[in-house]
Amino acid sequence: MMLVDRHRFCQYEKLAKAYLMLAGELLRDLHLWFLCEVPVGELLHVIHMLEISLGYYISGSASLASQSADALGIFTGVLCCAECDSVEHRDRVCGSLLHTDPNLFSRLLRLTLDVVLSRKCPSSKAEVLLRSLIALDGESFRRLAGEFAEIACRPARMRR
């Protein structure tokens, strides 16, 4: 998965389709304890490739956008597994990802919102991405929810 570069990935739709199908299948069966041994830079590389794919295809091909959202959701879901038995492994992986790439949460949130607004992906794909975001950085998600709640509770005249 590390051999595909960004330029070719966005230029060749067949390559992207094959990559995303393979990624969706391979990443689904990974175990968190195994991923703890993979260097964080390589995990981030896979996440970035899937982010680029989703960002690129969200404005074009609905099927590739959906496959990209699926693969990204699967991979981040495995990395940030909220239901997994090993909280220690999950916290270690999530902490390493956020420490190495402090903007990861905000980029994934922006992409998730793009997925929802584009309506090119089934809501189940957006739900998987949202669950992964909550598991990745629950505290940031709670703060964001609090800010949205404050905005919603303000009188209409103050929002202008």
pLDDT tens figures, 12-32:
677 777 777 777 777 777 666
Domain-located, residue 1: no
Domain-located, residue 153: yes
Domain-located, residue 65: yes
* Verdict on whether the full-model pTM lies above 0.75: yes
pLDDT tens figures, 39-63:
999 889 888 888 888 888 888 777 8
DSSP for 27-94 reads: HHT--HHHHTTS-HHHHHHHHHHHHHHHHHHTTS-HHHHHHHHHHHHHHHHHHT-SS-S-HHHHHHHH
Q: In the chain, how many domains are there? A: 1
Expressed as residue numbers, the domain containing 144 is 6-159
